[in-house]
Every structure is written in structure tokens, then in C-alpha cells.
Amino acid sequence: MKDLLEVTESGLYCAAGDFHIDPWRRVPRAVITHAHADHARPGCDRYLCSAAGKLVLRTRLGPGATIDCLRRGESLSSNGVRVSLVPAGHVLGSVQVRLEHGGVVWVVTGDYKTAADPTCDPFEPVVADVLVTESTFGLPIYRWPDATDVAAEINAWWRANQDAGRASIIFAYALGKAQRLAALVDPAIGPIVAHGAVAKLVRAYRDSGVRLPPIDGVPPGARSVGHGRALVIAPPSAAGSRWLRLFGTSATAAASGWMMLRGVRRRRGFDRGFILSDHADFPGLVAAVEASRARRVLVTHGSAEAFSRFLRERGLDAAVLPTRFVGEAPPDGNDDPDGTDPDGTDEKADGVTPATAPVAPAADGDAGMGAPP
């Protein structure tokens, strides 16, 4: 029997339902797990996303995109494939795509994290026959500290910089990480200032109902900002830019799971590195796989070969799912090596390895994709 999903030149495709999940290029119908640029490409004829993430996706794709959405607990049928979207905990509106067809359930996680985040719905385990999971941080060395402890470290660093008359510039990916960071730090310490790439997504979060502290933009024509007291949140692509001169003498830091690797911080020239990731760490990945009860697991992104081997050693039918975005190395200078992430929005480093491979069971169908039935 043919697999329900296959990897094509345009990405992960469900032939039975006639739609792609997070396609790599323009397609007629795209189911989107979240609005990061390597998952939500512009130019598709029609998009389906979660209701919680619609405004963020609209911000990324522009006013001309046709976007349908599903609320929590809703589903739709596309040619006999029942599609529902379950929170993934990665960023606002991120979801896992649950597909049911012929009595078999597939779940495509997209990117996810299992740690708490005040700016998005928490990850919900989904029972499946076949699970497609990311593995950006799929090695045992990746184990995240508690986010509240990391926030306390950032607050202390910010206060120390103020005492020394320095602004605190922290580089964080513009979608998800920046908003989570703003929600975690103590706004009583001083003003929080956002780069334009961050600010437009802050607005989308607020308009979606997420509560965030006051965050200032930079007024046009400003010659100085913050007077050495501000916490400045900027995407990694802003490092070394003239825009940073507005803040005068400053200390720099980065917030990322890659900060576990000391060499990354050294090569990028940051004064500090704070371990804060919007992806699951190794224990989180293992817990998600176990909770799914899937006997077949397809692993993508990052340490896919190592993580799938680990799962096979535990008795699962696990294999690597080929993908164009391998993310095997931490970002190291260029946040967008192949042009997929112009705002520096996501933590994965993109590589380019197009592949074609079948992956599990299909049949016949009934409806089209649009509003839920």
C-alpha cells in the first residue's frame, strides 16, 4: 500500500488529500505548521493554518495571501483525509498536523518544544501510528535549563550593564524567541526596545491576544536611544549593523539553544550566551516520541541520523525523512545561507539537500480544503 505522505520536489505531499505540508516552493494548497520562513513560503494559492497563528502568518505572507484556518478541536476532510491541527508549543500558532485516512493516523510535528512558554499554547502529545518528528537538537548533550533561571541570568546581566552605563543588546530570532524573551524578562529594570523585524511581529502577537510588556520601537531620525538603560532585542542579522550605534556603548548577548556550544558564541563575538531555545531538547524529543505511542517514526532536521538510530536501538521502526532543510550546524554568521529566512526568524541553520523519497498509506477521497465542514 502506498504511503500517505511522500517527499517530492515541492516538499512533503499528501497525494490522497492533494495538499502539501510546509512546502518548499509554490503549490496550490499548503498546510502550514507555523510561520517561520522555512515552513511558510510565499506564493501558494491557498494556505491552511491554526486560528491562533493566522495574524502572524498574514504578517509574514502579506495581505494578498488566501489563508483559511482551523480552531482547536476542529477538523476538515480533504478527499477523505481528515485533517486537524494540534498545538506544538514552538511559537504562536505553531501546530502539529494530524492526518487520519483509512484507519491510520499520521502526525507531522513541524517544529516543537515541550517547555512552557507564556506566549503560545503548550505542546500537546498526539497518539499516532506514524510520527514525523523534527530533531534539531537531537543529541543527548542538548538539555535546556529552566527558562525562569535563564531569565534571572538575563535580568542580572541587564542590571550590571546599566550600572556600567552600557546598553544590553540581545540577539534573538524575530518570530517566537524575541516575544518569549520579552515576556520572561523584568520590564521594571528599564525600557525594552525592539528592532523593526521584531516590532512588526510583536504587533501581530498583541493583535492575537498575547500579553507582552511595553516594547519601544526606534523613532525615525533618532540619534540615540535608551541612554544606556535599554534592553535591545534584535535579530541575529542585525549584528554589526549601523543601527546598533543608536544605543552607544553596549554589551552583546545571544539567546539560543546553540549557546550550549561555546565555540558558536566565540565565533560570533558575543559577550554572553543564554541558553533559550524554541525547539525541544533531547529529553523533550524522547518524551514526545514516547507519548505518541507511534511504532514508526520518521526523523527530520538536525541530528536526524543520530536520533533515528537512538530510536531504533529502543525498538522503534525509525528512519530519516529526507528534507531540503537539514539544519545540521548552528547558525554561524549568515542567518539565512540559502535565502529562506530573510528576517532571521528561526533557530535552525538551513542547508540545501533536495531529496525525493516515499514515506506511508493512501486511498480515495471526497472534499476539497477550505473552511471546516
Q: Is the pLDDT of residue 366 over 90?
A: no
Instruction: Quickly count: other Cβ atoms within 10 Å of residue 45's Cβ.
Output: 11
At residue 13, the pLDDT reads 98
Q: Is the pLDDT of residue 116 over 50?
A: yes
Phi, psi at 316, each rounded to 5°: -90, 155
At residue 220, the pLDDT reads 84
Q: For residue 227, name the pLDDT band (cuts at 50, 70, 90).
A: confident
Q: Is the pLDDT of residue 363 over 50?
A: no
Q: Is the pLDDT of residue 266 over 80?
A: no
Which residues, listed in sequence order, are joined to residue 171 by a DSSP beta bridge? 234, 254
How far is 9 from 175, CA to CA, in rounded Å?
27
Q: With contact defined as beta carbons under 8 Å apart, do 347 and 136 qualify?
A: yes
Q: With contact defined as beta carbons under 8 Å apart, do 273 and 153 qualify?
A: no
At residue 130, the pLDDT reads 98
Q: For Cα atoms 71, 199, 250, give the angle at the middle one, nearest 5 degrees.
A: 140
At residue 326, the pLDDT reads 45
How far is 54 from 56, CA to CA, in rounded Å?
5
364 vs 134 pLDDT, higher one: 134
> Which domains does the chain carry?
6-142+278-358 (3.60.15.10), 147-274 (3.40.50.10890)
Q: Is the pLDDT of residue 217 over 50?
A: yes
Q: With contact defined as beta carbons under 8 Å apart, do 210 and 179 qualify?
A: yes
Q: Is the pLDDT of residue 369 over 80?
A: no
Contacts of 96 (CB under 8 A, 6+ apart): 33, 85, 86, 87, 88, 107, 108, 109, 110, 112, 124, 126
121 vs 363 pLDDT, higher one: 121
222 vs 209 pLDDT, higher one: 209
Instruction: Quickly count: other Cβ atoms within 10 Å of residue 295's Cβ.
Output: 13
Q: For residue 186, name the pLDDT band (cuts at 50, 70, 90).
A: very high
Q: For residue 120, name the pLDDT band (cuts at 50, 70, 90).
A: very high
Q: Is the pLDDT of residue 286 over 80?
A: yes
Q: With contact defined as beta carbons under 8 Å apart, do 183 and 202 qualify?
A: no
Q: Is the pLDDT of residue 351 over 80?
A: no
At residue 349, the pLDDT reads 46
Mean of pLDDT over the chain: 88
At residue 332, the pLDDT reads 43
Q: What is the CA radius of gyration of the chain?
A: 21
How far is 293 from 72, CA to CA, in rounded Å?
22
Q: For residue 328, name the pLDDT band (cuts at 50, 70, 90).
A: very low
Helices (H) and strands (E) in the chain, counts: 7, 19
Q: Is the pLDDT of residue 330 over 90?
A: no
Contacts of 64 (CB under 8 A, 6+ apart): none
The helix or strand, by DSSP H or E, that contains position 161, with its residue range, turns out to be: helix 147-163
Q: Is the pLDDT of residue 174 over 50?
A: yes
Q: With contact defined as beta carbons under 8 Å apart, do 288 and 96 qualify?
A: no
At residue 346, the pLDDT reads 58
Q: Is the pLDDT of residue 231 over 60?
A: yes
User: Shortest CA distance to 280 belongs to which of 138, 73, 149?
Assistant: 138
Q: For residue 333, name the pLDDT band (cuts at 50, 70, 90).
A: very low
Instruction: Quickly count: other Cβ atoms within 10 Å of residue 297's Cβ.
Output: 23
At residue 347, the pLDDT reads 62
What mean pLDDT is predicted for residues 354-365?
31
How far is 27 from 272, CA to CA, in rounded Å?
42
pTM value?
0.88
What mean pLDDT is predicted for residues 41-50?
98
Range from 129-143, 213-227, 249-263, 357-371 carrying the lowest mean pLDDT: 357-371
User: Shortest CA distance to 124 belongs to which of 172, 87, 80?
Assistant: 87
